[in-house]
Amino acid sequence: MIHLYKSTALPVAGLSGFETPLGEEENAIQQTVHRFARDVMRPIGRQLDRMTPEEVIAPGSPFWTAMFEGAQLGLDPRLIAQFPPEMAIRIESLVGEELGWGDPGLAIAMGVATAPLMMAHAVGNQELVDMCTNKIGCWMNTQPDRGSDAAILQREELGAGGRQPVGNVTAKVGADEIVINGQSSAWISNGSVAQVALAYMAADYGDGFYGTGEKSTFTNGIAMIIPLDLPGISRGKPLDKIGQRALPQGEIYFDNVKVPKRFAIALQDDYLGNLASTWSYAGTHMSQVFVGAARAAFELALAYCHERKQGGIPLIDHQMTQLRLGDMLRRLEMARAVARRSLAYARTSPQSHPYVTAQAKVSVTEEAMKITHEAMQLLGGNATTREYPIEKMFRDVRSALIEDGENYVLTSRLGVLAGKLYQNGWTRE
Ligand SMILES: Cc1cc2nc3c(=O)[nH]c(=O)nc-3n(C[C@H](O)[C@H](O)[C@H](O)COP(=O)(O)OP(=O)(O)OC[C@H]3O[C@@H](n4cnc5c(N)ncnc54)[C@H](O)[C@@H]3O)c2cc1C
């Protein structure tokens, strides 16, 4: 059916671009989060970007203001999930996008802060829920010698004769107690400030770290929620890095740390499924956040092209500039569509998979990088100074190509998945 228009008036466009009409609640939520992103996250994110990692986490730092005020918004994913599925997915997307538009580093800090609590709810353990409520959380999975290798789900991802390494933080699982030793990677988001960790590691259940037969190339694993004030836990120096400097990162050290076994949320056979669930959850958030980050760069370039004149006219009136802005906007719309599709799949499919959400994270962050790169190019020499926020946006987005899984590795794993699906009959009818 052809929808008849009376004119060629400008299309309806909102904060989130060419959006189908938002309902009253959706609009109110988007506006509330947008105000928070504009008035709190942006100024604080820029302030934190110029501070040392030690200053970022010091008492009185604006980091705590952003985290506190963010928590006051009441953006509990469980409340959002009570809306009808399509609406819940859209609200989750709108929220993630606005937070990423405000400051991607802070958006990640706020998102990962609730990961242990979300997992405690998912497994339905009230003691763990109480332990994680109103606490800053982190997701501890990677280790110095177990980066991409920390999230291997298929044997085909290991080199010929290769084995998943045990890594640098391990658990010895007893009848009632788990003893942890070693250190996480320095990349743990919120690692230097977290009070609870959703932790994944290789585990020895009494027969060593590796399984037998088919499982002999994988380490046995354990997932648990760890209160980070237990004796034997210490932190590394907060990480100094190029991008997302508002996000505190750092190692967590374990010296014979004794954790009650009832804090475990997944043992041996449930381990990979549980890891997959957390990773899918993280991947969907990453996608929304970096749509927002890409939008921030696009908007900055669009405004600049209306201010800056060259060749006697504003940049926006040059055909080549119009082409470049059009290309950025098209990529932004594409990234948003991919992010939402993968979120819808993760929330509604009976069997999602972290490589599916991860492929969206790859697409979104690759597009965000192209958009941010082009925005820098459009700002000319000004882009290279610290007076304009584009250099920060560029650094923030650049880190995302490695964060939550390095993009080439994730793409190759999608290829492994395609092969497995084909071998299982997919596309062969
Ligand atoms: C901003 C940020 C936030 C992060 N937050 C967290 C967090 O909250 N929790 C957490 O646990 N971790 C976190 N990480 C860690 C992140 O998940 C890892 O950095 C990422 O998975 C890559 O691991 P790696 O850095 O050890 O790189 P490596 O795995 O060492 O990869 C290095 C290079 O080798 C290549 N490579 C690796 N394996 C293969 C292979 N099998 N075949 C071919 N090439 C390969 C990769 O493509 C890459 O280019 C974060 C990282 C960043 C940057």
Which tens digits make up the pLDDT trace of 341-359? Answer: 999 999 999 999 999 999 9
* Ligand 1 atom, smallest distance to 149 CA: 29
Which residue CA neighbors atom 14 of ligand 1 most closely? 187
The 10s digit of each residue's pLDDT in 376-429 is: 999 999 999 999 999 999 999 999 999 999 999 999 999 999 999 999 999 998
Q: How far apart are CA 95 and CA 107, in angstroms?
A: 10
User: Comparing C-alpha atoms, which of 140, 139, 118, 137 is closest to residue 129?
Assistant: 118
Planar angle of CA 95, 400, 293, nearest 5 degrees: 40
Largest CA distance in the chain: 78
Which pLDDT does position 154 carry in this prediction?
Answer: 86
At residue 370, does pLDDT exceed 90?
yes
* Ligand 1 atom, smallest distance to 112 CA: 8
Q: What is the mean pLDDT of the chain?
A: 96
Q: How confident is the model at residue 214 (pLDDT cuts 50, 70, 90)?
A: confident
Which residue CA neighbors atom 38 of ligand 1 most closely? 148
DSSP H/E element including 222: strand 221-227
The 10s digit of each residue's pLDDT in 145-155 is: 999 999 999 88
At residue 9, does pLDDT exceed 90?
yes
Which pLDDT does position 72 carry in this prediction?
Answer: 94
The 10s digit of each residue's pLDDT in 273-319 is: 999 999 999 999 999 999 999 999 999 999 999 999 999 999 999 99
> Angle, to 10 degrees, between the axis of helix 390-400 and the axis of helix 42-49?
80
At residue 77, does pLDDT exceed 90?
no
Task: Name 127's Cβ contacts closer than 8 Å, sequence gap at least 6.
Answer: 262
* Ligand 1 atom, smallest distance to 146 CA: 26
Which pLDDT does position 156 carry in this prediction?
Answer: 86
- The letter for the amino acid at 332 is L
At residue 185, does pLDDT exceed 90?
yes
All structural domains of the chain, each given as residue ranges with its CATH number in brackets, are: 24-113 (no CATH), 137-266 (2.40.110.10), 274-423 (1.20.140.10)
| Lowest-pLDDT range of 77-91, 101-115, 217-231, 367-381 | 77-91
CA of 409 to the centre of ligand 1 (A): 9
Which residue CA neighbors atom 30 of ligand 1 most closely? 147
* Ligand 1 atom, smallest distance to 405 CA: 21
At residue 211, does pLDDT exceed 90?
no
Which residue CA neighbors atom 48 of ligand 1 most closely? 406
User: Comparing C-alpha atoms, which of 211, 226, 212 is closest to residue 271?
Assistant: 211
Pocket test for ligand 1, best of 148, 251, 286, 413 (most atoms within 8 A of CB): 148
At residue 179, does pLDDT exceed 90?
yes
Q: How confident is the model at residue 339 (pLDDT cuts 50, 70, 90)?
A: very high
Q: How confident is the model at residue 14 (pLDDT cuts 50, 70, 90)?
A: very high
* Ligand 1 atom, smallest distance to 191 CA: 8
In the chain, % of residues over pLDDT 90: 94
In the chain, % of residues over pLDDT 70: 100
Within 6 A (CB) of ligand 1 lie 112, 139-142, 147-148, 185, 187-189, 244, 399, 402-406, 408-409
Which pLDDT does position 161 carry in this prediction?
Answer: 86
Which pLDDT does position 76 carry in this prediction?
Answer: 85
Which residue CA neighbors atom 6 of ligand 1 most closely? 188
Which pLDDT does position 61 carry in this prediction?
Answer: 98
Q: Mean pLDDT throughout 53-82? A: 94
Q: How far apart are CA 117 and CA 265, in angstroms?
A: 12
CA of 82 to the centre of ligand 1 (A): 34
Q: How far apart are CA 58 and CA 70, in angstroms?
A: 18
